[in-house]
Amino acid sequence: MTTAPRRIDVHQHLVPSLYRDVLAQAGITEAGGRALPDWSPETALELMDLLGTETAILSVSTPGTGFLTDPEAAVGLARRLNDFSASLTAERPARFGWFATLPMPDADASAQEAERALTGLGADGVTLLANNQGPYLGADGQDPLWRVLDEHGAVVLVHPADLPAPAVDGIPPFAADFLLDTTRAAYLLVRNGIPRRYPNIRFILSHGGGFLPYAAHRMAVALASDTGRSPLDILDDFRGFYFDTALSSSPAALPTLLAFARPGHILFGSDWPFAPTAAGQYFANGLDDGVDAGTVAAVNRTNAEALFPRLAGGSPAPVPPRPLPDRLRQSARRAGARAFFKLIQPGTTGTSGNTRTPGNTAHN
């Protein structure tokens, strides 16, 4: 990894066996319409080396603990997941970090577990699902949690879940519903003033913020009519979120995200292992090929260093050398992924009149 970009991946998941077993007991074999992927620390490191990722901040994806109807069982599962994540990070602190799992929608229990994880276990932040079996972030009754997170200046990864409504046949939730779920949470957080009342919380919106960058002005007009606030203030709140690039650094999406987000507020994300390795390579290439070198460096690492000071500066994390056949195979996979990305862009095959234009990079 001597020539790797030293990415910090803020959107990478773990699926430890203790979690998979509890999900299986509940009859859950998929999340967001995708089968639960295989995961191990070793395969995570292999993917990270392929993408040039030095450190991954790991999180548990949907359904979190919300599928458990017994509140005590949800608390117990969250504690076990957080203890596991803390132990894994302690073994490889330069390669892994972690966002704590909280037993939402119980705000009081979540506040207690957040306190334990942030102060006792050294969590890098917490992850919250956009909705928890119905109630969205920003709904009434969540202030005990917001107070604790604000006191700690916590980083919060907002991750989508299945919408609180039946899925539409033929549309897997991860393909479209997840984007709406994140957008709904962002809308309600701003509508109900959470970012202004708790300004020390740093919210990261998954997948480029869902539809938010594209529809922010439309939503600001709606919120202004609803609340009487200035649309400019509302847009300022929307731009105050952080955004990760997981599955979102395409030639169509990335320019909008770069034009909308505040400087320093875009972070690298892969969504592995729920997003397969090929998808991670595709969207990483979209970032690397779509913007100038300074912006790439900021998104890959510098912006995340500001949120996670323990990762700032220092020398690259030591990586044991892989056998020559493995290195050659990785090099071939990178070259093939770059060629594939360039091949399928609009205007490259002669079948479309559109041509690809670089994203506006002035905002990051």
Mean pLDDT of 176-186: 98
Distance CA 83, CA 87 (A): 6
**What is the arithmetic mean of pLDDT over 267-276?**
97
pLDDT band at 364 (very low <50, low <70, confident <90, very high): very low
Contact by Cβ (8 Å): 48, 97: no
Mean pLDDT of 208-232: 97
- Average pLDDT along the chain: 91
Which tops the pLDDT comparison, 18 or 332?
18
In the prediction, which pLDDT does 358 show?
Answer: 38
Tokens encoding 47? 């993917």
Q: Rounded mean pLDDT of 332-343? A: 62
Pull the structure tokens for residue 75.
């608390």
**Residue 212 reports pLDDT greater than 90:** yes
**What is the β-pairing status of strands 202-205 and 34-35?**
unpaired
* Closest to 308 (Cα-Cα) out of 212, 242, 211: 242
Q: Which pLDDT band, with edges at 50, 70 and 90, does 316 fall under?
A: confident
- Give me the residue label for tokens 């109630």: 135
Q: Which tokens belong to 116?
A: 């334990």
Given a contact cutoff of 8 angstroms between Cβ atoms, the answer to whether 213 and 261 are in contact is yes
Question: Six-digit token pair at 321?
Answer: 């050398």
pLDDT at 348 over 70: no
Q: What is the mean pLDDT of residues 188-199?
A: 98
* pTM score over 0.85: yes
197, 165 contact by CB (below 8 A): no
SS (H, E, C) the chain: CCCCCCEEEEEEECCCHHHHHHHHHCCCCEECCEECCCCCHHHHHHHHHHHCEEEEEEECCCCCCCCCCCHHHHHHHHHHHHHHHHHHHHHCCCCEEEEEECCCCCHHHHHHHHHHHHHHCCCCEEEEECECCCCECCCCCCHHHHHHHHHCCCEEEEECCCCCCCCCCCCCCCCCHHHHHHHHHHHHHHHCCHHHHCCCCEEEECHHHCCHHHHHHHHHHHHHHHHCCCHHHHHHHHHCCEEECCCCCCCCHHHHHHHHCCCCCEECCCCCCCCCHHHHHHHHHHHHHHCCHHHHHHHHHHHHHHHCHHHCCCCCCCCCCCCHHHHHHHHHHHHHHHHHHHHCCCCCCCCCCCCCCCCCCCCC
Tell whether the torsion through CA atoms of 293, 297, 303 and 309 is positive or negative. Answer: negative
Residue 122's pLDDT band (cuts 50, 70, 90): very high
Q: What is the pLDDT of residue 363?
A: 38
50 vs 34: CA distance, rounded Å: 23
Name 59's bridge partners.
13
Q: pLDDT of 22-72, one tens digit each? A: 999 999 999 999 999 999 999 999 999 999 999 999 999 999 999 999 999
Q: Quick count: other Cβ atoms within 10 Å of Cβ 233?
A: 15
